[in-house]
Amino acid sequence: MATLATNVLGIDFENPFVLASAPPTAKIESIDKAFTLGWGGAVLKTITPDNLEMIEASERYATWKVGNKICGFENIELLSHLTLQQWLNGIKYLKQKHPTKVQIASIMAPVAKEEWQNLVRTFNNSEVDAFELNFSCPHGMPEKGIGMAIGTNAEISAMITKWVTEVARKPVFVKLSPNVTNIAEIAKAVEKAGAGGISAINTVQSLMGIDLDTFEPLPKVNGKTTFGGYSGISVKPIGLRCVAQIRQNIELPILGIGGIANWHDAAEYMTVGADVVQVCTEVMANGYGVIGAMKQGLLGYLESKGFKSPADLKNRAIGNLSTHEKLPKSTQVYPHIDDEICVKCGKCVTICDESEHSALLLVDGHITVNKKVCVGCSLCSHVCPKSAIKMQK
C-alpha cells in the first residue's frame, strides 16, 4: 500500500498538495474550508508589514481561453490585505482546528534588514511551519524595488535570505521568479546564503492582449494596464523546466509550482525534483474540490508503479535530461498511420509539405510515408486532428 504522506525539512505533509500563496489562501475561513476538503497545506497569501500600502486595481484579471477552457490567467493583484495580528490569530485558529495541516507564511518586506527580520520575528512564535520568501511577484512590487526586483538579482536575493535565516526559527523556502535568464544561478545563490528549500515558479511576466477597437491593453484599468503575471496550465512547461534546472544544480527540497491542474502534472513535477507541489489557478478556475481527484489519481499511480510514497518518484526523470549534443541520434522514428482512425483529411500532408519535408502523400485514399525524405520530426503526429499517427522505430 502506498501513502501520499511525505516529509520535507522535518515538516510532515499528509499529502503533497499545497495551496499556493494567492486568493485561495487570502482568508482564514477559506483556508479552513480547503483543509477540511483535504488539501495537505497552504502557503498564506503574501504577508507584508502593516504600513506597506496595498491599493488594488479593477479589473485585475485577463484570461487566455481555448473555447470555454481557461488555459491561463494574467493577474495584476497585489498582496495580502490582512493585518499581521489578523494573520497571527488566524494561523493559531487553523492550527488548533487542523493540527496536521501545513501552514507556510509567505512574506515580503522592503529591502531593509530590520523590516525583514521584524516580519520573521513576528511569526517565529506563531504556529506556522515554515517561511516562504516572495522574491518573485512580477507586478506592482518591483516598482517599489521588491518582489521580482529582488528575485532577478542573485546578490540581493542572497543578502535578504541571509538576513532572514539569521533570525528564522523555522525552515525557509525562497520563491523564485521564472523571469530570469538563469534561474539555477539564483537558486544556487540563495542556497549558499542559507535557504532550506526553493519554491518555483511564481507567475510569468505577460501582456494578455489588446482590445483592437479601443487599443486598450488587457486587463483594462480605466483604459490602461501594466504588465502582469501569467499562470495556469499554459505555464506548466516553463515551471517544469525551471524546477528541472534547479534540481540539476542543487539538492535542496523544491516546492514545485506552475500550471498544476491534476495528479499527472504533479507527478511530472516530482520526477524532475519537486518534493511537494503547490496549486493556484486550477483552484481559482474550478474550486478547492479538485483536490479529491488529485489525491486519488496520484495514489493510484504510485501503487501502479510499486512506489511507496511521493518520495519514491522524486528525481526519476532527471537523469534523462541531457544536452542536445549528447542526445542519442543514431536511430530515427517514422510515422505509422492507423488507417481505421485516419479520416484522410490530408492535414498531415499539407503541414509536412509546408514545413520543409514533403514526406507524406495522399495516394488512393491512404496516407503514405516517403521514408527517403521523412526525418522523423513527429510534427504530423501532433497536428493530426484524430490522433491517428504514432511515431515508431
Ligand X SMILES: Cc1cc2nc3c(=O)[nH]c(=O)nc-3n(C[C@H](O)[C@H](O)[C@H](O)COP(=O)(O)O)c2cc1C
Residue 44's nearest CA partner among 112, 118, 122, 156 is 122
Q: Cis omega before residue 219 (within 30°)?
A: yes
Catalytic residue status for 137: yes
Q: Return the number of the residue (79 or 290) whose C-beta is nearest ligand X.
A: 79
21 forms part of the interface with ligand X (CB under 6 A):
yes
Q: Return the number of the residue (260 or 299) whose C-beta is nearest ligand X.
A: 260
Q: Contact with ligand X (CB under 6 A): which of 2, 18, 22, 294?
A: 22
Rounded CA separation 220/61 (Å): 9
For ligand X, the binding residues in 86-125 under the rule CB under 6 A are: 106
Choices 229-237, 245-253, 324-332, 352-360; region in contact with ligand X by CB under 6 A: 229-237
Q: Indicate the residue type of 155.
A: E
Catalytic residue among 71, 137, 352, 384: 137
Q: Contact with ligand X (CB under 6 A): which of 175, 247, 295, 314?
A: 175
Choices 21-29, 218-226, 318-326, 373-381; region in contact with ligand X by CB under 6 A: 21-29
Q: Return the number of the residue (75 or 122) whose C-beta is nearest ligand X.
A: 75
Q: Return the number of the residue (284 or 361) whose C-beta is nearest ligand X.
A: 284
Class of residue 46 by CB neighbours under 10 A (exposed 0-12, middle 13-18, buried 19+): buried
179 forms part of the interface with ligand X (CB under 6 A):
no
232 forms part of the interface with ligand X (CB under 6 A):
yes
Q: Contact with ligand X (CB under 6 A): which of 23, 38, 297, 376?
A: 23
CB of 54 to ligand X, least distance (A): 10
CB of 200 to ligand X, least distance (A): 8
Q: Contact with ligand X (CB under 6 A): which of 16, 90, 219, 258?
A: 258
Q: Return the number of the residue (31 or 349) whose C-beta is nearest ligand X.
A: 31
Rounded CA separation 289/303 (Å): 23
Write each residue from 199 to 228 as x if it is in contact with ligand X (CB under 6 A), else as -, in one continuous string: ---xx-------------------------
Choices 209-217, 220-228, 274-282, 291-299; region in contact with ligand X by CB under 6 A: 274-282
Rounded CA separation 361/367 (Å): 6
Rounded CA separation 222/90 (Å): 35
CB of 222 to ligand X, least distance (A): 20
Q: Contact with ligand X (CB under 6 A): which of 17, 39, 73, 288?
A: 73
With CB under 6 A as the rule, give the number of residues binding ligand X. 27
Is the Cβ–Cβ distance between 210 and 225 less than 8 Å? Answer: no
Q: Return the number of the residue (88 or 204) whose C-beta is nearest ligand X.
A: 204
Write each residue from 129 to 168 as x if it is in contact with ligand X (CB under 6 A), else as -, in one continuous string: -----x--x-------------------------------
For ligand X, the binding residues in 276-315 under the rule CB under 6 A are: 279-282
Q: Contact with ligand X (CB under 6 A): which of 11, 16, 45, 149?
A: 45
Q: Which residues are the active-site residues?
A: 137
Contact residues for ligand X, defined by CB under 6 A = 20-23, 45-46, 73, 75, 77, 79, 106, 134, 137, 175, 202-203, 231-232, 235, 257-260, 279-282
